[in-house]
Amino acid sequence: MKKDDCIFCKIAAGEIPSAKVYEDENVIAFRDIAPQAPVHVVFIPKDHVLSSADDITEDNAKIIADIFVAIKKTAESLGLENGYRIINNCGEDGAQSVKHIHFHLLGGKKLPERIV
């Protein structure tokens, strides 16, 4: 399922180029266009099944597990053996800018202990 006005759907479809670092049947991951750490990768479901974490239910939650497995594999392949951070921005107050659920993988340096 693809939404025509969604930038991440266009990336998943290959209509907008991206630096892909991971792909499987349900998930793709690509380098963030505005990296906030030496490693900054965005993980999305290929299909626009959820707009935000607020849409997660018992019935559709498997894709979240798939994404976390993808994150773990990618962290390993990118050499983040010393740790990393996973972030999901949700909704207006969470400062979510792209309304296609996604998780940020950040690492490659010691990250700040606080975000505010």
Binding site for ligand DGP (CB under 6 A): 7, 16, 18, 30-34, 42, 89, 95-98
Q: Which is nearer to ligand DGP, 40 or 73 (CB)?
A: 40
Single out the catalytic residue among 40, 48, 100, 102: 102
State the nearest-atom distance from the C-beta of 7 to ligand DGP, in Å.
Answer: 5
* Residue 102 a catalytic site member: yes
Length of the chain: 116
Q: Which residues of 7-39 are buried (b: 16+ CB within 10 A; e: fewer)?
A: ebbbbbeeeeebeebbeeeebbbbebeeeebeb
Supply the residues annotated as catalytic: 102
